[in-house]
Structure 1
Amino acid sequence: MASFEENLGGRLALLSPDTLDSDQKILYDQLRGTMVPWANKSGFRADTYAGRLIGPFNAMLRSPLLSQALMGMTATEGKESSLSEKVRQVVILTVGAAWQAAYELYAHAAVAEKAGFDEATIRALVAGQKPTGLAPEESVAFDVTQRLTARHQIDTELYERAIVTFGEKGMVDMIYLAGHYMTISGLLNTFTVPAPAAN
């Protein structure tokens, strides 16, 4: 059986901290100071026991300056979004399910649990299905995100429901969030990054 440290980079070797150039080291330190503690608090892993980054973060080290800008978007979205945490997790898991991004689903299933979703709801979202019992705004968020990722268009009826629910700012915030996680899912799927095996 492979150890926790093996094969977590998918098509990319996991980079050791002592092999990084100066730009990579800046990004590494940023991720170790922000994303790794957040992952630990949320109930998933973003690094190995040897301090190597996993998930999308290992791939990000290959382009550290663009990745720093992407992480700036992550930080700003988390602070400035008008969306509730539950709506955010519906959007993120719906994108992850559409892309079948294993690590994304692993990570945000844990985050969604911390946000207060029950196991059945999370299981349905991970499977790409609309759960029963979503709050009205969560239901609209699922519909918008699913339609945007699957058909790339929002019909008038759904658009009008979404505008009534979220307003124009909320719609823009939702599209930014969905697009951000499409980028993350693209990194994960291109490099076939797996979810860690359950302990």
Structure 2
Amino acid sequence: MTAHTVPAHTDTLGGRLPLVDPAELTDDQKGLVDLLSNTLVAGVDSVGAQATTGDRRLIGPFNPALYSPAISAKFVELQMFELMHTSLPERVRQVVILAVGAVWRADYELYAHSAAARAAGISAHAVTGLANGDIPDQLSEHEKIAGHVARQLSSTHRVDDALYHEAEKAFGKQGLVDMAALIGAYHAVCTTLTLFEVPAPI
């Protein structure tokens, strides 16, 4: 399947949850679809990945969101606020997101953010390494530090003193708070994707 091919509707794309039929949306779900279409879904589309089926059903983390639209709408707002106000460069963000996704082995997250990372200028080889749980040498020093922080914190729930001080020197206190917020947000995304066994559309 090419980056521009829209998958046909199949129940397997929802994992453990049926894909919500656009013709059967409640008012709250319609509001969430509008919000997603103008924010996160548009972002996925912009990097050549897929967030909908051929019959306009949402896939990835967006389909589970429709099962709890009130909470999901606020989480989308948090994600957009992080994106707009973070001090972290986009390449660093994508390194962090892929490092988290690799720990969780969250297929859709790795699929969508591999595309986003390539769009941000990270080489295909480095993206593949990140998705496999590595911290590739092709990354900049700051990117490698961010990857190590995200991986260590996600896998051990701690960051050792040496890495912490290296990260604080690289990103400052605000940068580390921003990184913690990003890591936390994508733990939530990956929790949803793995709980419901949501696949990538490939």
TM-score interval (norm. to shorter): over 0.9
1:189 corresponds to: 194
Write the deviation string for residues 77-124 of structure 1: whole angstroms up to 9, x where unpaired. Answer: 111000000000000000000000000000000000000011110010
Q: TM-score, normalised to structure 2's length? A: 0.94
- CA shift, 1:133, in A, is 2.1
1:38 and 2:43 correspond: yes
Corresponding residue for residue 70 of structure 1: 75
1:128 aligns with 2:155: no
Native 8 Å contact 2:8 2:55 kept in 1: no
Which among 12, 18, 23 is matched to residue 23 of structure 2?
Answer: 18
**TM-score (normalised: structure 1):** 0.95
Q: What residue number does 2:152 align with?
A: 147
Deviation at 1:193, TM superposition (A): 0.3
> Which amino acid is the alignment partner of residue 68 of structure 1?
A
2-structure distance, mates of 1:191, 1:164: 38
Shift of 1:146: 0.8
Matched-pair identity in %: 43
Q: What's the CA shift for 1:29?
A: 1.4
Q: How far does the alpha carbon of each residue in 1:48-94 deviate from its partner, in whole angstroms, 9 at most, with x for none? A: 11111000000001111110110011110111000000000000000
Cα distance in 2 between the residues matched to 1:133 and 1:35: 28
User: What SS is found at the alignment partner of 1:8?
Assistant: helix
Alignment partners' CA distance in 1, 2:44 and 2:197 = 20
1:56 — aligned with what?
A: 61
Query: What's the Cα RMSD here?
Result: 0.9
Please list every run of 5 or more consecutive structure 2 residues that lacks an aligned counterpart in the other structure.
1-6
- Unaligned stretches of 5+ in structure 1? none
What letter matches 1:142 in structure 2?
G
Structure 1 outlier segments of 4+, above 4 Å: none
What is the 5 A alignment of 1:107-126? 107-126=112-131
Q: Equivalent residue for 1:104?
A: 109
How far off its partner does 1:36 sit?
2.4
CA contact (8 A) 1:48 1:54 kept: yes
Tell whether the 8 Å contact from 1:4 to 1:196 is kept in structure 2 after alignment: no
